[in-house]
Structures are given as structure tokens and as C-alpha cells.
Structure 1
């Protein structure tokens, strides 16, 4: 029964990866780059009142900036998008592998091993320190302080 459930889960994961609908309209559904790389002409070039260029220069500059940014991004994503996606996929797969197969087992192992040590440590504290601190508390409990204001 478990093997059958495992196969069903594995088939579902494969189907999710291969047949997942890709949203071509909203390509940043989690708003990762909403404010980071959203740069328009007005965010970079702005002329304060009293220092305006010719209207034609302003319009051509706006068009040049916008079109060059658009096509440069498209060219770079065409040339480097797939290789970088492969690189990032490989990197995050390695990180996931290390986390699943090394980090979490090391932490779990440490917690199991430290539990034994913590029992021994707490036993030593209760055996040696508690009586010492109780005795020191009784000695110090008879100390009285009086504050006087002298004029």
C-alpha cells in the first residue's frame, strides 16, 4: 500500500512539473522584483524646473532609453536566460541536497547527542551547585543594608 501511495505521489510531482500552467501575463506573481528593478525613465533622468532641454531632445531621450532598455533586456535574456536558469537550477538543487542530506541530519544528530550531555550537566548542577548556592543564599540573607541621608 505504501509503495503504491509513493508511486502516486511521485507521478503527481512529475505531472505538476511538466504540465504546470505558465502564466505569461503575470511573470512576477510573488512581487519579488516589484520595487527593486522596476526602473523607468523618470526614475533615472529628471530635469528640475528651470533646466529643461528642448522638448524634442526630451522625447527622443525618453524613447531611446525605453527602447534600448527593453531590447537590451530581451537580447540578454535570450542569450543568457536558459544557461543562467540551468545554473540557478543546479545551484538550488545543490543547496536543497546539502540541506536535506547533510544539514538537517547533522542538527538532529547534535540534538540527540547533546540531550545525553544535558542530562549529565543538569545532574552535576543539581548535585554540586544547588547546595552551594542555597548555603550562599542563607549566608547572604542575614545581611541588612541601611541607607541614611546625612545633611
Structure 2
């Protein structure tokens, strides 16, 4: 299922279209259902502070900024049969179903194994970097800027007295033109 589409029930007919003992009625057995969208729980009693918190997880919108748009891959993006060479319909339907099921379940298994350790390591790393920047890097930069304030003033004077008039007069010297001619 592509991102941004509504979640709805998906039916996969596992009968071969040229199967002679197939049924003519189109009541198909639903073998796989996409999860229905999570509804907001109506009776949640939370404080205003929790509702405006940045740490409250977004359950319905998991990629609001579209960071992982490159991962919108479906079965048709990976496997495609040309018209001249085709497998049996059952093979195509079963391979589609197995592709989707294995993609979803392997992703779930790997995230169960890796999501918590990676998020702990990422949180630790970002906390350390934030602490270093707030308490060490930024104060050092501010001390350096205070100590070199005279150098900034001197550079401003040099730019205003020497560099700016030179380039202003060079720009005013005018009459340069370039003519391109074909030979």
C-alpha cells in the first residue's frame, strides 16, 4: 500500500482465471486485510501539557516530513512481467501475496530487534552532542567573539575605507563591452 492512500480492505483472489473447476460467483475469500486506520481514543484524559508535548508519539502520521519517500516500494515496482512472457495467474497472485506478507513481517521482526537499541543509542548520542554544544562549544565561541571584538571593528574599517571605494571606482570605470562574432 502506498503512503497517503486510505487504508481499506484488500481482497486477493487465489483462483486461477483459466481454472476450469473455478466458481463463477465473485465472492472471494479475504486472505489478507490491510490494517484499518487507528481511531483516536475518545476517552483519553490528558493534561494540556501532555497534549502539546513534542515527545508524544505520532501514531497515525509516522513520516510527516516525508523523510523516507524513497521507500514507497510496491510489488509492481520490484517485479514485472512483460506481455510476451507470463507465468500462471496463481503464481503471480501467490508471489504478490508472499512478497507483501514477507516485506511487512520481516520489517516488523527487524524493528522489534533493532528499534529500541537504536533509539536508545540515538537519544544518548543526541543528548551528549546537545550537552557539549550548550555547555562547551557555544560558550567558547562567545568568549572568542568577545576577545576578538576589536578585530571585527578593524576589519569593518578596512572594508569601508579601502576595499569598498576600490571596487566602487572599478565598477564605475565603465565602458567594457564584449562582442561575439561568428567567423
The bucket for the TM-score relative to the shorter chain is 0.5 to 0.7
Which structure has more relative contact order (CA 8 Å, sep 6+)? It is 2
Pairing partner for 1:78 from 105, 108, 112: 112
The 5 Å alignment of 1:132-143 reads none
Aligned with 1:24 (options 59, 70, 90)? 59
Greater helix share, 1 or 2? 1
Q: Which residue of 2 aligns with 1:60?
A: 94
The CA distance in 2 between the partners of 1:111 and 1:19, in whole Å, is 33
1:74-110 CA distance string (max 9 Å, x none): 1111112111111111111122122222332233223
Matched, 1:115 2:114: no
* Matches of 1:29 and 1:44, distance apart in 2: 25
TM-superposed deviation, 1:115:
1.8
Asked if 1 retains the 8 angstrom alpha-carbon contact of 2:50 and 2:56, the reply is no
TM-score (norm 2): 0.51
**Equivalent-residue separation in structure 1 for 2:102 and 2:150 (angstroms):** 65
Query: Who is 1:141 aligned against?
Result: none
Matched, 1:44 2:89: no
RMSD over equivalenced CA pairs, Å: 3.5
Aligned residue pairs, count: 119
- Structure label with greater radius of gyration: 1
Unpaired segments ≥5 residues, structure 2 = 1-46, 170-183
TM-score, normalised with respect to structure 1: 0.60
